[in-house]
Amino acid sequence: MLLLAATIIANTSFALILRGAQHRRVDELAVGMVNYVFASSAYWVMAAIWWPEQGTPIAVNFGLVGGWFNAAIFLLLLTAMHLKGVAVSIAMVRLAVAVPLVASIVFFHEAPGMVQGWGIVLALVALPLLSLDKGVSNEPLTLRRMAMLLGLFVCNGMCLLLLKWYQTIGTSEGRLIYLATMFTVSGLIVGLVWARTKNRRLGKAEIVWGTWLGISNALTNILIFTTLDVLLASVMFPILAAVGLSLTTIFAAVFWREIPGKLGWAGMALAVLAVVLANR
């Protein structure tokens, strides 16, 4: 139970640290770059100490693909948080569990039960509700912004799918290589985007916030793998999503006055229920 609680706290802290950095008006791309540099360095050091005897090529290949999706999640999440606030944005991320579930049905011919089917339906209902919520910016929804939110949903879903797939065909010893490669690729992509922006900064504030974000990122992924070793994914993922979303929403409402609208509240309620049912 303590391991699951630690995983929830670490996973929830990532979005809150990132949103906190935005409120401090630091260079958020620099924060993301420092985050990936710290996380990938930590994983490479651990991988050098516990280098796997086999499975390295598979881990590297998965990491190379996952790095692109991970970087896309970060870049899309920055925009989504500015428009929608942290609660609605994270609800979109949590709903992404529907992607590996649908992929399991289509590609692995795993027929869902009735309860899982209702979870998928509720997820499809929650998506437009979350998209239509005006969010903290009160700006109207456009096709471009809707595509951004759907992209966040799909990219995170692909990361979850890769995690599930790697656990199926990869080795437990190669996890560090997989994560180290993934965050190295993500760091390079975010670093290139940062290098092309005007008025970019990389000062003490960006390094401090980026390091905190990197610590959260590194701990979260290690804890998720460790928790999956002792708990079923069908037990861990719905609890992680539901409790994490609730904590994020409460924190954002109390400290930043980011109160979702009626559509946002309805969408988040359906999102929590959809994630729980989809993992039954």
Residue-wise over 117-146: b if at least 16 C-beta within 10 A, else e?
Answer: ebbbebbeebbebbbbbbbbeeeeeeeebe
Distances (CA, A) of 73 to 45, 89, 108, 142: 25, 11, 25, 20
DSSP 195-222: HTSTT---SHHHHHHHHHHHHHHHHHHH
Closest CA to 252 of 12, 13, 6, 16: 16
For the segment 133-175, what is each residue's pLDDT rounded down to a tens digit? 666 666 666 777 788 888 998 898 898 888 878 877 877 778 8
Closest CA to 84 of 37, 131, 124: 131
Q: pLDDT 10s digit of each residue in the chain, 280 long?
A: 678 788 889 988 999 999 999 999 999 999 999 999 999 999 999 999 988 878 789 999 999 999 999 999 999 999 888 888 887 788 788 777 777 767 766 776 666 667 766 766 776 677 666 766 666 666 666 777 788 888 998 898 898 888 878 877 877 778 899 999 999 999 999 999 999 998 899 999 999 999 999 999 999 988 887 887 777 665 666 677 777 777 788 888 888 888 777 777 787 787 777 767 765 6
Whole-structure pTM value? 0.84
